A and B are shown apart, each in its own frame.
Chain A
């Protein structure tokens, strides 16, 4: 259920984002979702891609600093209070969220959101006991192709 996410260090200069995107596009690697977080000083580009090993190697060869981390993709009901319910489950189990970002697609009436937890195994454990839907990388690939 754990999904590999690639985090790429970016300097805070114009054009820093296009480099990694170009590398992946040239290799025909599909970006399933991505998020960019930055301060005035630097940024972190986070990517979920198909063929993450290949993507990581290509990015590193192009001079990027890449860190592979594990995240979870959660189904969140696409209605008011949907996210609050999911976060509630996590709170009750004292699971700390580091950050989250959304996929551009959903499944039926469910949105899909990437969560990065301090302790991914504890989060997985807690979520399995709850009714929150979890997607694996195969699900993500399938959904992104539609």
Chain B
């Protein structure tokens, strides 16, 4: 066995293997401490008072739902120091993330936070670091200068196809990981050697998967918005932070032995979500379906309309010239395959229209793929 695969299989701490009942007890205890800590933050103190919730009132993890949610907007509004639960002199590091919209968000760490953070990263960074180190060394680059940057791989939603291409291009295993700067940077979750989802570091983060519209928990295995409560953070503890990232959670046992729940790669942003006939649909699910049928994702558009009482979703797919064969049956088959795959991934029937290549609108940079006609004047409710 090579050093690389040995390191990939290595479990870094006892908490990663903790039986779930024990883990849940630890989470509850840490959640109470966390609520205690956030009570020092005016924003949370007010919100908790409104809900009439105290740390003692938390009898079980189900009571988590009695706690207030936190949005990115809340973080912005309380900029710069309104969310710190510790005196400023205890802060050792500030990190400002310059978002593309609005004011920068400031994030602070105490010495304890930084310790925790390096522990979390150590649990799965070795697989990155070692792979990268080999690649970097071959090019005469100092691998130490790259290791942390590599963690940002998880920040963008990507498809399995992209992962394959990255692996081919760089000749290394690309392990997914997930984190966000408001919470901790990389380190919320990461893939093990089995690569079948990212294990959430549940001893430090309590996660929920909520319907972005109703804010109720989704059914297990259904995509929803990831909501994170930081259990151990000192400087800026967050209660039920809405990440806007859409994923699915899986708490079934993993062959690697880690007990931490796994999250799928992020399939989109809650802002992109469409509600069609009561079903939550994400453009990335349509892309995934097209990829699965065709091998490459063709250019496509999604249109949602409500011609009568019911929503209708139409997916226009540009025909690829090499797919056209002069056979009616083959074209019909292609439509049926797309339709069937869309319903199995998104749980919704869509009308599939094949269109000529290069005929769907393209926009500078990011393509505009979704047209929701229900919101147009004179239409819909």
Given contacts A9-B319, A65-B319, contact A44 B356 (CB under 8 A): no
State the Cβ distance, B118 to closest chain A Cβ, in Å.
56
| Complex: chain A residue closest to B334, CB-CB | A42
Question: Is A27 part of the contact surface with B, judged by Cβ < 8 Å?
Answer: no
Central interface residue in B352, B355, B358, by most chain A CB within 10 Å: B355
Interface residues of A: mostly helix, strand, loop or mixed? strand
A11 touches B356 (CB 8 A): yes
Task: Please pick, from A9, A37, A41, A116, the residue contacting B356 in the complex, using a CB distance under 8 A.
Answer: A9
Instruction: State which residues 36-70 of A face B: CB under 8 Å.
Output: 37, 39, 41-42, 44, 46, 63-67, 69
State the Cβ distance, A37 to closest chain B Cβ, in Å.
6
Which residues from B are CB-within-8-Å of A26? none
Question: Is B328 part of the contact surface with A, judged by Cβ < 8 Å?
Answer: yes
A69 touches B326 (CB 8 A): yes
B332 touches A9 (CB 8 A): no
State the Cβ distance, B317 to closest chain A Cβ, in Å.
11
Question: Is B181 part of the contact surface with A, judged by Cβ < 8 Å?
Answer: no
B328 touches A41 (CB 8 A): no
Question: Is B370 part of the contact surface with A, judged by Cβ < 8 Å?
Answer: no
Instruction: State which residues 47-95 of A face B: CB under 8 Å.
Output: 63-67, 69
State the Cβ distance, A61 to closest chain B Cβ, in Å.
12
Question: Is B171 part of the contact surface with A, judged by Cβ < 8 Å?
Answer: no
B328 touches A65 (CB 8 A): no
Q: Mark B199-232, 1 if CB is under 8 A from A, else 0.
A: 0000000000000000000000000000000000
Cα distance A46–B327 in the bound complex, in angstroms: 11
Classify chain B: how many residues form its interface, as a range. Answer: 10 to 19
Task: Kindly count the residue-residue contacts between A and B in the assembled complex, taking CB atoms under 8 Å apart.
Answer: 46
Instruction: State which residues 310-329 of B face A: CB under 8 Å.
Output: 319, 321, 324-328
Given contacts A9-B319, A65-B319, contact A44 B357 (CB under 8 A): no
Cα distance A11–B358 in the bound complex, in angstroms: 13
A65 touches B324 (CB 8 A): yes
Question: Is B272 part of the contact surface with A, judged by Cβ < 8 Å?
Answer: no
Which residues from B are CB-within-8-Å of A44? 326, 328, 331
Instruction: State which residues 338-367 of B face A: CB under 8 Å.
Output: 352-359
A67 touches B356 (CB 8 A): no
Question: Is B335 part of the contact surface with A, judged by Cβ < 8 Å?
Answer: yes
State the Cβ distance, B362 to closest chain A Cβ, in Å.
14
B326 touches A65 (CB 8 A): no
State the Cβ distance, B231 to closest chain A Cβ, in Å.
53
Which residues from A are CB-within-8-Å of B325? 67
B326 touches A46 (CB 8 A): yes
Cα distance A12–B351 in the bound complex, in angstroms: 13
A11 touches B353 (CB 8 A): yes
A42 touches B331 (CB 8 A): yes
Cα distance A98–B324 in the bound complex, in angstroms: 16
Task: Please pick, from B324, B328, B358, B359, the residue contacting A67 in the complex, using a CB distance under 8 A.
Answer: B324
Which residues from B are CB-within-8-Å of A11? 353-356, 359
20 extra A-B contacts, CB within 8 A, seeds A41-B353, A44-B328: A5-B326, A9-B324, A9-B356, A11-B353, A11-B355, A41-B332, A41-B335, A41-B354, A42-B331, A42-B353, A42-B354, A46-B326, A63-B356, A63-B357, A64-B356, A65-B319, A66-B321, A67-B326, A69-B326, A116-B326
Complex A-B: 15 CB contacts under 8 Å: A7-B324, A9-B319, A11-B356, A37-B328, A39-B328, A41-B332, A41-B335, A42-B331, A44-B326, A63-B356, A63-B359, A64-B356, A65-B319, A65-B321, A65-B356
Residues of B within 8 A of A (CB): 319, 321, 324-328, 331-332, 335, 352-359
Query: Which 9 interchain pairs have the tightest Cβ spacing?
Result: A7-B326, A67-B326, A65-B324, A69-B326, A65-B321, A9-B324, A67-B324, A11-B355, A42-B354
